[in-house]
């Protein structure tokens, strides 16, 4: 039996659906697409960023985030937002 290959309508990743009518790769993509449809002004500029960090880099984020009482992913989000503001890719 041939496995079907589809692209997620929200994130664009390739996935192998269990159902022929599946549009999204995961429940989180399905719910984010629903939210974006219902509140486009809130979600239109939302971008997913994925990092491939080495263990040492993750520890640096973890330690810096702990000093500010933040989780590593929250601290990484803060760092990315600051760098985008500095390079004027986004506006405050």
Number of domains comprising the chain: 2
Give residue 7's pLDDT: 92
pLDDT of amino acid 42: 73
Domain membership flag for residue 44: no
Domain extent for 18: 6-39
Tell me if 46 is assigned to some domain.
Answer: no
Q: How many residues does the chain have?
A: 92
| Residue 30: pLDDT over 90 | yes
Please report whether residue 92 resides in a domain.
no
Residue 60: the pLDDT is: 86
pTM equals 0.48
The answer to whether 33 and 22 have CB atoms below 8 angstroms apart is no
| Tokens coding 29 | 């993509």
pLDDT of residue 2: 67
How many angstroms separate the first and last alpha carbons of the chain?
A: 52
Question: Average pLDDT in the 30-51 region?
Answer: 79
């Amino acid at each position: 039996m041939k496995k079907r290959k589809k692209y997620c309508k929200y994130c664009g990743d390739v996935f192998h659906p269990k159902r022929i009518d599946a549009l999204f790769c995961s429940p989180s993509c399905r719910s984010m697409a629903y939210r974006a449809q219902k509140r486009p002004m809130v979600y239109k500029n939302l971008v997913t960023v994925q990092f491939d960090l080495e263990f040492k880099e993750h520890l640096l984020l973890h330690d810096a985030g702990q000093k500010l009482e933040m989780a590593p992913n929250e601290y990484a989000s803060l760092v990315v937002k600051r760098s985008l503001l500095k390079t004027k890719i986004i506006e405050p």
